Chains A and B, each alone.
Chain A
Amino acid sequence: MSLEEKEKKLQQLTAKEALLGVAIAVGHFIWWFGFAYGLGGRDPQNYQYILGMPDWLFYSCVLGPVLLFVTLWFVVKFVLCDIPLDQEQD
């Protein structure tokens, strides 16, 4: 593989991984927002309680981070590449 091709591949890989970070953050935000204001927007009289917490808080701020962690674990394990960082161009 020529130097140019190698460099191009490196560019594509790093851009792809950064975009993946943006995609996870967008999903994370939607989950956080959706449960907080979707469930939390009801009259507090009608809240259900999970582990003693109002349901919106549980889904948005407890279950959300747990699922986020699982997602990140899969991403790290199966998607992100282990490339050397001191890649000189010569």
Chain B
Amino acid sequence: MNIEVIVPLVVFLLFTFAIGIWSAKKRTGAASFLHDYYLGSRELGGLVLAMTMVATYGSASSFVGGPGIAYDRGLGWVLLSMSQVVTGYFTLMILGKRFAIMARRYRAVTLVDFLRSRYNNGLVVIVGAFSIVVFLFSAMAAQWVGGARLIESVTGMSYQASLFLFAGAVLFYVIIGGFRAVVVTDAVQGIIMVVGTLIIFTATLIAGGGMNNIMTSLYQENPNLVTPFGADGDLTALYVSSFWILVGVGVVGLPQVAVRAMSYKSSAAMHRALLIGTAVVAFMMFGMHMAGVMGRVVVPGIEVADTVMPELTMTVLPGWLAGIVLAAPMAAIMSTVDSLLLMISSSVVKDVYINYIKPDASENRIRLLSLIVTAAVGIIVVAISWSPPEFLIWLNLFAFGGLEAAFIWPIVLGLYWKKANGWGALAAMITGIASYMIISIWVPGWLGMHEVAMPVLFSLAAFVLVSLLTNRQENEWSPLENN
């Protein structure tokens, strides 16, 4: 075991405990348990909003997987990773104040609440809640596994002990603290991610003898490494650009991101968040992926992409600094799983239980049930991650793309297109998920783009077509009448 690496991790975990307790205490004065536990009473300020959006979205792939691929492919992958910068402002601007205002009028706690009030269609609610639970559950399990593996590799503890430690910490603060604990820890985790990026980027740059030297070495090894086309010259402009949908504009459709766009306090908070968020995403993506590419010069010959960042960190940094940098991917994983856990819990409690089973449930009952459901979902996921079934890992590959293809148009057109109706939304969700899975399984890389690109278009076409076909005058939506 490496004590210097473990100490920062333990300090960090203790800190998250404190935030969980603080959040639970802060709730005692809140008017509605449900709004507070799942939305933090809609009082996010600019910095916390920006950080929680970045941290929820940026998962292990930004810190471990992505830079590892950049090591392999060269600067082309840095270019690709920069397609994520658009998320910093686009989600907040496109959903915008209209989403925040409508969500308040509908008293929506979840994304499905919003869809239910907007479309008034039971099937939209069922399909929406079902896809959130299934896709996010598998995504969350995959992240737990990643988090536990990371602790295992850094500390030398067994996989099971690592999982237990990691899961215990996250479950504690999410269960007792709810949304407020999640976003405040996200903000702290976001700051750790920024600091970690700065340290590893600088250290790698120095270890490589400066940018000029690094680029010269890369060019001499293989000129393709410094082009936008990748080491083998196979990263086409079309393929790289299609990532603007998967990790860029499509992020609007992710429920865990969209729900944050209805939880901020004021217009001013949203304005600040889009500035901070854009700067942070740009800095982190460029810094981490460049570090991956530069690492090729510093530590050549690494075969397994996922080991690039841990090995690079251990090589270029002294132990205590390495601990801080390695806390960054752990922070990234924690800040993703905590949000997913709460999303699933809110879907079960609000979208299923209160909507269908017991609409008149008392405040106390809801309170108890929310805590129990959050705990139960968490424990089930941990139990499954103990030895994850292949099906779950397989399903996870479709989680984010599937959710994007399902929800992007029902949210966006629901806000800005008057003729959008429930049947159109339903057609869009089913078309999006189905075509995405079909393309991913049978014709991966179809038309030279990422698999999510075409389903987003199909979903749009289905939405518009079905909405127009089933459109009757009395169905036409106006926010004025709909309250």
**Contacts of A10 on B, CB cut-off 8 Å?**
101
**Contacts of A62 on B, CB cut-off 8 Å?**
286
**Contacts of A54 on B, CB cut-off 8 Å?**
75, 215, 226-227
* Complex CA–CA separation, A84 to B264 (angstroms): 12
The listed residue (B82, B212, B227, B271) touching A60 by CB distance below 8 A is: B82
* Complex CA–CA separation, A8 to B447 (angstroms): 43
Closest to B271 in A: A76
Show 8 A/B contacts (Cβ-Cβ < 8 Å), sorted by A.
Answer: A3-B480, A18-B96, A24-B90, A45-B223, A52-B212, A61-B82, A62-B286, A81-B267
User: Are A24 and B93 in contact, with the CB atoms below 8 A?
Assistant: yes
**Contacts of B480 on A, CB cut-off 8 Å?**
3-4, 7, 89
Most buried by B among A15, A52, A83, A88: A52
Q: Produce 1/0 per residue, B87-122, CB < 8 A to A.
A: 001101111111011001100000000000000000
The listed residue (A29, A36, A53, A69) touching B278 by CB distance below 8 A is: A69
User: Are B223 and A80 in contact, with the CB atoms below 8 A?
Assistant: no
Interface range, A side: 35 or more
CB distance from B75 to the nearest CB of A (A): 6
Given that A33-B237, A72-B274 are known contacts, is A49 also in contact with B215, CB under 8 Å in the complex?
Answer: yes
User: Are B228 and A44 in contact, with the CB atoms below 8 A?
Assistant: no
User: Are B98 and A14 in contact, with the CB atoms below 8 A?
Assistant: yes
The listed residue (A15, A33, A44, A61) touching B224 by CB distance below 8 A is: A44
Most buried by B among A13, A29, A85: A85
User: Are A28 and B267 in contact, with the CB atoms below 8 A?
Assistant: no
List chain A positions with a Cβ less than 8 A from chain B: 3-4, 7, 10-11, 13-15, 17-18, 20-22, 24-25, 28-29, 32-33, 36-37, 40-41, 44-45, 47, 49, 51-54, 56-57, 60-62, 64-65, 68-69, 72-73, 76, 80-89
User: Are B286 and A61 in contact, with the CB atoms below 8 A?
Assistant: yes
* Complex CA–CA separation, A62 to B101 (angstroms): 35
User: Are B223 and A44 in contact, with the CB atoms below 8 A?
Assistant: yes
Q: A44-B226, A57-B79 are in contact. List 19 more A-B contacts (CB 8 A).
A: A14-B98, A18-B94, A18-B95, A25-B90, A28-B85, A36-B79, A37-B228, A47-B226, A53-B215, A56-B228, A62-B286, A65-B85, A72-B89, A72-B274, A82-B267, A85-B100, A85-B267, A87-B101, A89-B479
* Complex CA–CA separation, A37 to B428 (angstroms): 34
Interface flag for B483 (CB, 8 Å): yes
* Complex CA–CA separation, A41 to B181 (angstroms): 47
**Contacts of B227 on A, CB cut-off 8 Å?**
40, 44, 54
